[in-house]
Amino acid sequence: MAIKVLVYLPIKVDVAKRLNLPVKLPVLAEDLPLITDQDNIPLDVILRGLEEQYKVEKSDYWLSYLVYFYYEKFKVLLNEKNYAEAEEILKKVKELHYDYRYHFYNALLQAKMGNYEFAEIEFKQALTLNPDFALAYYELGNVLFAEKDYEDAIEAYRKAYEKDPNFLLPLLKIGDTYMELGQLDDAEMFYKSIIARDKLHQYATKEGLEIEPMPEAYLRLGVLYNLRQQYEKAEEIFKLGLSTGKKAEITYNLAYTLTKLGKHMEAYKILLDLSKEVQTPEVLNELGILQRRLGLYEEAYETFKKIEEHFPENFERIQFYVGKKDFESEYINEMKKAESVLEKVKFPFEKELEIIIESTDDDGNILIDKFAEITKINIQPFDNHNPNFENFPYILSGMYIAGTDPIIMEKNATILTIATIGTGLPLACTTTILRLYQYILSNESNVDHFIEDIHPEIDELHFDFSKQLLQLLNQPLDNFFDAEITNYAEFTLNLVKAIGYFPTKEEIKNIKNEMLRKTVGFFVEIMDKIRKA
C-alpha cells in the first residue's frame, strides 16, 4: 500500500478566516501541484488532506473542519444534481458527527428530489435540534410553498425573519407568496419593507453596518406595478433598483415598462445595450420587435434570424418588410378590391403628396434621405410625449402612395412618423390611423369592432392612449365637429369618432378643424365608393 505523505501548507490569516481554513492546511504531497492560488484551492484537495489528517489525529479540531468541508462538497453535488453522491457524503458525515445539520442538508436533498413530505419532516427535525436556525425555517417555507401550503409557508418565513432580522430573503418570499395568492397589496408591503432597508445602505459604512442591497425586491415590486398597469411607478422602482447594481432582469422588465409608456427610443437603447451582454432568445425577441416598430427593418431581420428556432413567427413576419417574402403570394389581401376606388378618389393633401412621390422608389417605398433633402426636415428620432399633427399629411400621403400594399403602407407610415413627429405616442396615433385606413379599404365600417380589434396592438405602443381609444366605446361620437384639437392624439381620437359617426358630405363641411375635415372627407368618400362598387 502506497504511503500518503501530508504537507502542512501555511495559509494567510485573512484567507484562512474568509474561507474557514486552518492556518496550517494538511495537504497530500501528491496534490501540491494542483494548488496555484490560496484563494482557489480545489475542494477535493482540501477534503483529501483533511480525511488523511483525521486518520492520523482524531481530534475535534480536525473533525470540525472535515465535517464543514464535507457539507461544502455536498452543496456542490446538490447544485450539480448529483444526488447519489450527495447522499453518500451525508452518510459519511453522519457516521463522523451527527447534529442538526445532517437533517437540514438531508431535507435539502429530499426537496431537490421532489420528496416534499420527507423534506418537511427533516427540516422540522433540524429545528427541534436547533430552534434558532433561521435558514431551516426559510427552507421549510420553500417546501411548504412548493406544496402550495401558502399559509404555513408564510408562517415559516415569518419565523425565519424573527430569528434573524438581517436575513431579508424570508420577507421577499412572503411577498412572492402573496403574489401567488393574488394579494398584491400585501405583497407590495413586504417588497417595500425590503427596499426601505436597502435605502439604509448609503449609511452602512458610516455606521459600521453590513446591509447588502437586494435588487430582487425592486424587480418583484416593479413587476407587481406592471401587473397593476401602474407603469410610472414601475419605471421609478426599476430605475431605483438599477442604481443599486446592474441586473439583467430589471433592465429587461424596464424596457417593457418604457414601451408601455411610449418611451420607445429609451427602451430600444437599453435593450440594445442589454443584448450585447445577455443574448437570450427573450431579450433578442423584444429587441427585434422594437426594431421593427421603429422602422429598423434590416436590423430587426438580423436580430430575428438569430432566434428563428425560438420565435419562427416573428422571423417569418419580418421577411415581408425586407423583401425576402411577398405578402400577396402567401396571404389574401382584403384591400385589393379597393385599388380601383383609390384611383377615383381625390387625395386631400396634394402638395404633400407631390413631395412624397418625389421621395419614393419605383415600388412606393419612402426614401427618407431624399424626403429630408426636399423638406429640409431635421430628422432626429425622439420620444415625443405631446406631438403636434402638422406633418400628418406627409404620413397619409405615404400610406396612399402604397396603394393597397399593407407592408409598404405600414413601412411608409412608420418611417415618416418617426422622421416628422417622433416615436412613442406619435407611433400609437399613426398605427391607429393606419389600421383604420386599412379597415376602410377592406370594406369594414363598424368602429366598435375596429377599436376592440386594434386595442391590443395600441396597448403595446402606448398604454394611456390605448385607454383613451377604448373609452370611445362609451362616449358620444358626434362631438368632433367643434373639437378644439391641439395635438396628434386628439386628432386621432376625433378621426375615429368621425368615421364611427359617418357624416354626410354636408355635415363634413361643418367640421371646424381643417385637417380633420379633409381627412374625414377622404375616408368617407372611399367608404361610399367601396359600398357602391
pLDDT digits (tens, 9 = 90+) for 372-392: 999 999 988 899 999 999 999
CB 126 within 8 A of CB 101: yes
Residue 213's pLDDT is what? 74
Q: Is residue 251 part of a domain?
A: no
**Percent share of the chain, pLDDT over 70:** 97
Q: Is residue 478 part of a domain?
A: yes
Q: Is residue 304 part of a domain?
A: no
Got the DSSP string for 440-487?
HHTT---HHHHHHHHHHHHHHH-HHHHHHHHHGGGS-S---TT----S
Looking at the predicted structure, is the pLDDT value of residue 209 above 50? no
Q: Which of 188, 119, 214 is nearest to 174 (CA)?
A: 188
CB 29 within 8 A of CB 7: yes
Q: Is residue 15 part of a domain?
A: no
Residue 250's pLDDT is what? 97
Looking at the predicted structure, is the pLDDT value of residue 450 above 60? yes
C-alpha cell at position 458: 395600441
The confidence band for 36, taking pLDDT boundaries of 50, 70 and 90, is confident
Q: Is residue 109 part of a domain?
A: no
Q: Which domain holds residue 417?
A: 334-532
C-alpha cell at position 447: 368602429
- Mean pLDDT across the stretch 85-114? 96
Residue 245's pLDDT is what? 80
Looking at the predicted structure, is the pLDDT value of residue 208 above 50? no
**pTM: predicted TM-score of the whole model, two decimal places:** 0.90
Residue 201's pLDDT is what? 57
pLDDT tens, 251-263? Answer: 999 999 999 999 9
Of the listed ranges 182-196, 204-218, 428-442, 474-488, the least confidently predicted one is 204-218
* 5/275: higher pLDDT: 275
Q: Is residue 197 part of a domain?
A: no
Residue 38's pLDDT is what? 80
Residue 200's pLDDT is what? 64
pLDDT tens, 138-183? Answer: 999 999 999 999 999 999 999 999 999 989 999 999 999 999 999 9
pLDDT tens, 406-419? Answer: 999 999 999 999 99
Residue at grid coordinates 426537496: 111
Mean of the per-residue pLDDT values for the chain?
A: 94
- At position 111, the amino acid (one-letter code) is A
Q: Which of 238, 185, 186 is nearest to 215 (CA)?
A: 238
- Count the helix, strand and coil residues of the chain and give each as a percent rounded to the nearest 5: 70, 5, 25
CB 392 within 8 A of CB 488: yes
Q: Is residue 452 part of a domain?
A: yes
Looking at the predicted structure, is the pLDDT value of residue 205 above 60? no
Residue 405's pLDDT is what? 96
List, in sequence order, the alpha helices (H) in 97-247. Answer: 100-112, 116-129, 134-146, 150-163, 169-180, 184-198, 201-207, 215-227, 231-244
> Half-sphere exposure of 433 toward its Cβ, with a 13 Å CA cutoff?
34
Looking at the predicted structure, is the pLDDT value of residue 393 above 90? yes
Residue 418's pLDDT is what? 97
pLDDT tens, 243-287? Answer: 988 799 999 999 999 999 999 999 999 999 999 999 999 999 999
CB 521 within 8 A of CB 508: yes
Q: Is residue 33 part of a domain?
A: no
The confidence band for 206, taking pLDDT boundaries of 50, 70 and 90, is very low
Q: How many domains does the chain have?
A: 1
Residue 2's pLDDT is what? 60
